[in-house]
Amino acid sequence: MYFRRQLVIFISVVIIGTILGLLGMGDFSSTNRIAYFWPGAVVQSVAGVFFGMIGVMAGTTFPIFSDAMSGITLIKVLVWIPANFVQSFIPYLVKKIFKFEPCEFNKKTVICFIVGCSVIPHLVGSIVASLGYYSLHEMATLKEQIGVFLNWITSNISISIIFGLLLLKFFAPALRKCKIYDEMETESRL
């Protein structure tokens, strides 16, 4: 039963993340091919917080599908996997370290989410992604590297904060009433 529940959560988060990732907008005619607006970032910020390591795995996996469906080359999709992992794992880690409760919309939750689940993970993810681009020899100048870094940050952090706080405010209380969330919380404390 536990495996089936985890599998359903994983598949659901991957599908939702893929759909949101495909909604991203950007100038894909340029060489860097990073969206200016990428709503998939919010899934990476909340999946690990709500669903633990299964959410981290889903948050790392769904960009592979959404990027491939967007026409991004396989090598770039693979280079972005470490950035996607960082952006999904750090929020999970922040929840574990600071023990904030996402279902309680208070000052601690908001600060932990904004700083630890949105800004820091996507800042580190943008560094990892721009270094990945650099390793592919896609960028000839420092200006191009900074452009990728800034584009990644602006497309992820703002969306993550805005939609993430809305999810915490309105979705988390509904999730709290769900039996699955309570069982996952109990198992994650063990």
CATH number at residue 135: 1.10.1760.20
Q: Sign of the CA dihedral 9, 15, 18, 20?
A: negative
Rg (C-alpha) for the chain, rounded Å, is 16
Q: How far apart are CA 185 and CA 58, in angstroms?
A: 18
H or E segment and range at residue 166: helix 142-166
Please report whether residue 190 resides in a domain.
no
Residue 15 maps to a domain: yes
Q: What is the DSSP letter of 171?
A: I
Residue 64 structure tokens: 């592979």
Task: Report if residue 133 sits inside a domain.
Answer: yes
pLDDT at 73: 83
Mean pLDDT by runs of 10 across the 190 residues of the chain is 86 94 65 68 93 95 91 86 95 94 90 96 92 75 81 88 92 74 54
If one counts every other C-beta atom within 10 angstroms of the C-beta of residue 131, the result is 15
- pLDDT score at 48: 92
pLDDT computed for residue 3 by the predictor: 85
Q: Is residue 89 part of a domain?
A: yes
Positive or negative: CA dihedral 160, 111, 186, 169:
negative
Q: Is residue 163 part of a domain?
A: yes
Q: Helix crossing, 53-69 with 40-51: angle to 10°? A: 160
The tokens describing 130, both together, are 């721009």
pLDDT of residue 188: 55
Please state the domain count of the chain: 1
Say how far apart CA 44 and CA 84 lie, in whole Å.
8
**What is the per-residue DSSP string for 66-119?**
HHHHTT--HHHHHHTHHHHHHHHHHHHHHHHHH---TTS-SHHHHHIIIIIIII
Asked if the structure places residue 71 within a domain, the reply is yes
Q: Which residue has the tokens 């989410």?
A: 113
Kindly state whether residue 155 falls inside one of the protein's structural domains.
yes
Q: Any idea how long the chain is?
A: 190
Full residue range of the structural domain in which residue 70 is found: 2-185
Structural domain includes residue 86: yes
pLDDT at 29: 45
Whether pTM exceeds 0.85: yes
Instruction: Give the pLDDT confidence score for residue 124 in this predicted structure.
Output: 96
Closest residue by Cα to residue 117 from 78, 87, 76, 156: 87
